[in-house]
Structure 1
């Protein structure tokens, strides 16, 4: 099975971590930002990361890919079966994909992607507004929501944790980490989830790449 994209994308990283927790091997092939093999555009017609191929089956979008992976290999169970737990898991994935990433991406794009990969200055005013105005109330919500167990749903690892932890890697790549005085549970939570082998491999590779 082939995954097209870059693990620096929180969506690609989430998919890679989910697959690793399932014990599914994915061949990551570089693609995105207008680059990649023709097969990438077949799998992802609008050029969005990640794209995916399994034989003659192609699909894009991290949620769609994860849904496929979960269906072909149900265990270990990372999408709870109990109705309320499953709904909460879906909510946290959506929260990460459309709320947390939306704020963090303004910081990441303008402080790293634009100057490093596009050769132009980023919009620091937009990044600063996201950092000071948009992100804090999002993290306040997450700090309140985190259970004592350190897992968002059913006191065990689920897609919820994989989805929510992934964007924090991007924030760390630009030197931003949560204030441990204001968000102590988030600090402990992200450290624990991102230390898992399913994430650590990619975080280490990204850190080395960006430092080169």
Structure 2
């Protein structure tokens, strides 16, 4: 199995963590709209990360890939089967993929991607505005739902935790951090998820790559 993309992308990181937690054997091949092997664009015709290859099966989109992985290896179960728990897991995935990642894109792209990888200044005013006006609303919501158990669904680690924590890791790489004084439950929750080996290894590698 091959996952194409950079783990600094919240969608690629989400897919890698999910596959790791499933105990699957895979490799990660760097790819983006500007680079990558031919198989990447076969898997992802529009150049969106991640792309995925398993034998002759090629597909893109983190949710589609995760659906495939969960079907071929149901255990350990990371997507609840009980109706309400499953629905809430999908909601949290949507929250992470669409709402948090949209804010993260404005911050991470302008502060990191544009200057470091494209060699041109980012729109720092747009990044600052997103951190000032959008990010607090996200944290207020997460503070309201962060559970004492440390997990969003069924008092156990699921896709919901992966999907929420992944874009927040990208925000952190863009120097947008959770204020533990204002949002103690959210900060503790996310920190605990990031401590899992599947997350911690990636985050350490990403920090090292940005510092190089």
Kindly state the Cα deviation for residue 53 of structure 1 after the two structures are TM-superposed.
Answer: 0.5
The alignment partner of 2:103 has SS state of helix
Question: Paired residue for 1:126?
Answer: 126
1:55 corresponds to which residue? 55
Q: Report the CA distance between 1:172 and its aligned residue.
A: 1.8
* Residue matched to 1:101: 101
Alignment of 1:189-204 (within 5 A): 189-204=189-204
Distance apart, 1:135 and its partner CA:
1.2
Q: How does 1:120-159 map to 2 (within 5 A)?
A: 120-159=120-159
Q: Any idea what the Cα deviations from partners look like across 1:4-39, whole Å, max 9, x if unmatched?
A: 001111100010000111101221001004110111
Distance in 2 (alpha carbons) for counterparts of 1:30 and 1:147:
35
In the alignment, the residues of structure 2 paired with residue 174 and residue 48 of structure 1 have an alpha-carbon distance, to the nearest angstrom, of 20
* Alpha-carbon distance in 2 for matches of 1:172, 1:136: 14
Q: Per-residue deviation at 1:92?
A: 0.1
Structure 1 residue ranges (4+ consecutive) displaced by more than 2 angstroms after TM superposition: none
Q: 1:184 offset after TM fit, Å?
A: 0.5
Instruction: Say whether 1:45 aligns with 2:68.
Output: no
Q: Tell me, which stretches of 5 or more residues in structure 1 are unaligned?
A: none
Instruction: State the secondary structure of the residue aligned to 1:7.
Output: coil
The residue matched to 2:88 in structure 1 has which SS?
helix
Partners of 1:112 and 1:33 in 2: CA distance: 17
- Cα distance between partner residues in 2 of 1:175 and 1:9: 15
The root-mean-square deviation of aligned C-alpha atoms, in Å, is: 0.8
1:36 matched residue in structure 2: 36
Partner of 2:182: 182
**Higher mean C-alpha displacement, 42-51 vs 175-184:** 175-184
TM-score by length of 1: 0.98
How many residues are matched? 212
